[in-house]
Structure 1
Amino acid sequence: MASQDDDLQASATEGYKIGEKKTVEEYAKLDQNDESLNRWKASLGISSSPPIAVDPKDQRRCVIKTLAMEAEGRPDINIDLTTPGSLESLKSKPFSIKEAAKFRMKANFVVQHDVLSGLKYLQVVKRKGIRVAKTEEMLGSYAPNTQEKPIYEKKFEEDEAPSGMLARGHYEAVSKFTDDDNKEHLKFEWSFDIAKDWK
């Protein structure tokens, strides 16, 4: 039986090699006359705008600020991760999802110090200890936040809750944000209930 850590490993693409790491300044100076490279750098937010000042003691490259669940016909469920105890309450206070409801998750985050390459979201959902779903979503690469882009927001692919009497009940999940270097930026456990209606 696979362990929780095995479940949360990102899949590897055969033949894919991670490029040489460069600083934001090195990327900004790289082949300045190459139009397609300049468009790629602009898509990452690498520009002449200076990065937002960060606390030099905070060495995190990616700081997840909030998570939210959007579903049509109801207010968003928002989790402010800057609030003490917010991660702990995700497991102990499950929220309900209406069966067959379509929903999507979104994350707001800050990148600091250096370019973040290949941010991924991994999630494993279990019911009564048995894995029922695994999600792996590529979120992209990002330059450190600037005054022009003080925070990044990424909406995930739309998902649909299971339905039917057998699908209703309590679920446990483990999620993490990682990158091309397999650096773990945030890992947390949470729980939810599939119910007949929103509560």
Structure 2
Amino acid sequence: MSAHDDDADLQPTVGGSANLGVKKTLAEYAELDGQDESLAKWKASLGIKPSAAAGTSGPQFTLLGLFIHFPASPEGKTIEIGLGDSAAPVHIKEGVKHSIRIRFQVNEIVTGLRYIHIVTRWGVKVDKMESMIGSYGPRSDGPNEITLPAEESPSGMLARGTYAVKSKIIDDDKQVHKEFNWSFEVTEE
């Protein structure tokens, strides 16, 4: 599989055909229609406040952690995924349900965040997952966290082994906020 094929696979399948207009900064949204009380309440629910908007800084999106969560395990086990080619693979028992959990911070309004990943084994694509994360504004009460829908790990003797994963977090504007590689190993126990 060539790098060009990977790039095409990591694009969202649902295109943004709606014209969302000119992208505005958080400060511009905060000052927009300042006299409308109902709009002010809605903006406050998104974390858009005139005083907070002027003080935001840093990247628009920051990935704080990526985890695999096993909801069926007695203790609700969660394992942090090491990112990068040199990180050790995460061990997953064959045939168990697991979810990917993403912890992140935003400093500006981000619309239509999606998580996409391609799973390969021996250089052959075996799975593609695309899941909507949502739209977020900055918040002062800590980072955002979302758990994606559960999947079942492969099972059987031939399914055991190491899988490579190429992941991307992208928004409606096709801005890539994070691209990373990780791996997992399907084991019998």
Report the TM range for the smaller structure's normalisation.
0.7 to 0.9
CA distance change for structure 1 residues 67 and 52 in 2, over 3 Å: closer, same or farther?
Answer: farther
Counterpart CA distance in 2 for 1:68 and 1:52 is 33
Task: Report percent identity of matched pairs.
Answer: 38
Give CA deviations for 1:117-145 in whole Å, capped at 9, x if unaligned: 11111100011111111111111111123
1:45, distance to aligned residue in structure 2 (A): 2.8
TM-score by length of 2: 0.82
CA distance change for structure 1 residues 136 and 43 in 2, over 3 Å: closer, same or farther?
Answer: farther
Counterpart of 1:169 (choices 151, 161, 164) is 161
1:83 aligned residue: none
- For 2:8, give the aligned amino acid: D
Matches within 5 A, 1:1-199: 3-13=5-15, 15-31=17-33, 33=36, 35=38, 41-42=43-44, 44-47=46-49, 50=52, 56=57, 58=58, 60-71=59-70, 72-73=72-73, 75-79=77-81, 87-88=83-84, 91-112=86-107, 114-146=108-140, 149-197=141-189
CA RMSD of aligned residues (A): 2.6
Counterpart CA distance in 1 for 2:121 and 2:170 is 24
Counterpart CA distance in 2 for 1:78 and 1:52 is 34
Contact 1:172 1:191 in 2 (8 A): yes
CA distance change for structure 1 residues 185 and 173 in 2, over 3 Å: closer, same or farther?
Answer: same
CA distance change for structure 1 residues 22 and 93 in 2, over 3 Å: closer, same or farther?
Answer: same
- For 1:169, give the aligned amino acid: G
- For 1:21, give the aligned amino acid: K
TM-score by length of 1: 0.79
- For 1:93, give the aligned amino acid: A
Counterpart CA distance in 2 for 1:157 and 1:38 is 33
Counterpart CA distance in 2 for 1:9 and 1:124 is 11
Counterpart CA distance in 2 for 1:127 and 1:166 is 11
User: Which blocks of at least 5 consecutive residues in structure 2 are unaligned?
Assistant: none
SS at match of 1:166: helix
User: Which blocks of at least 5 consecutive residues in structure 1 are unaligned?
Assistant: 80-85
Contact 1:106 1:155 in 2 (8 A): yes
1:43, distance to aligned residue in structure 2 (A): 5.0
SS at match of 1:50: helix
Paired residues, number:
183
Contact 1:18 1:180 in 2 (8 A): no
SS at match of 1:162: coil
Counterpart CA distance in 1 for 2:41 and 2:152 is 35
Counterpart CA distance in 1 for 2:5 and 2:177 is 20
CA distance change for structure 1 residues 170 and 18 in 2, over 3 Å: closer, same or farther?
Answer: same
Counterpart CA distance in 2 for 1:142 and 1:100 is 34
CA distance change for structure 1 residues 94 and 143 in 2, over 3 Å: closer, same or farther?
Answer: same
